[in-house]
Amino acid sequence: MGDYHFVYKDVEGASTQWDDIQRKLGNLPEKPPAFKPPPFTPASDQDSIPKDKSFIDSKTEEELEFLEDDLDLDDDRFLQEYRKKRLTEMREATKIVRFGSVVPISGSDFVREVSQAGPDVWVVVLLYKDGYAECGVLMKCLEELAVKYPGTKFVKIVSTDCIPNYPDHHLPTLLVYNNGAVKANYAGLRSFGRRCTPEGVALVLCQSDPVLNDGQGGTDRSRDSVIEGVRRKLIEKVVKEHEDDDGSSSD
Same domain flag for 175 and 154: yes
Same domain flag for 84 and 69: yes
pLDDT tens digits for 154-174? 999 999 999 999 999 999 999
More confident residue, 215 or 5: 215
Instruction: Please tell me the distance from the alpha carbon of residue 159 to that of residue 154, in angstroms, as a whole number.
Output: 15
Return the percentage of the chain with pLDDT > 70, whole number.
64
How would residue 70 be classed by pLDDT, with cut points 50, 70 and 90? low
Q: Please report the pLDDT score of residue 123 as a whole number.
A: 97
DSSP letters along 224-236, please? HHHHHHHHHHHHH
CATH number for the domain that contains residue 133: 3.40.30.10
Q: Are 189 and 138 in contact (CB under 8 A)?
A: yes
Does this model's pTM top 0.85?
no
Q: Is the pLDDT of residue 102 over 70?
A: yes
Same domain flag for 70 and 116: no
Identify the sign of the CA torsion 240, 244, 246, 247.
positive
**Residue 128 domain boundaries:** 102-234
User: Is 43 a member of any domain?
Assistant: no
Instruction: Please tell me the distance from the alpha carbon of residue 91 to that of residue 17, in angstroms, as a whole number.
Output: 75
Q: Please report the pLDDT score of residue 116 as a whole number.
A: 93
pLDDT tens digits for 220-240? 456 676 677 667 776 776 777
pLDDT tens digits for 123-140? 999 999 999 999 999 999
Same domain flag for 160 and 202: yes
User: Is 3 a member of any domain?
Assistant: no
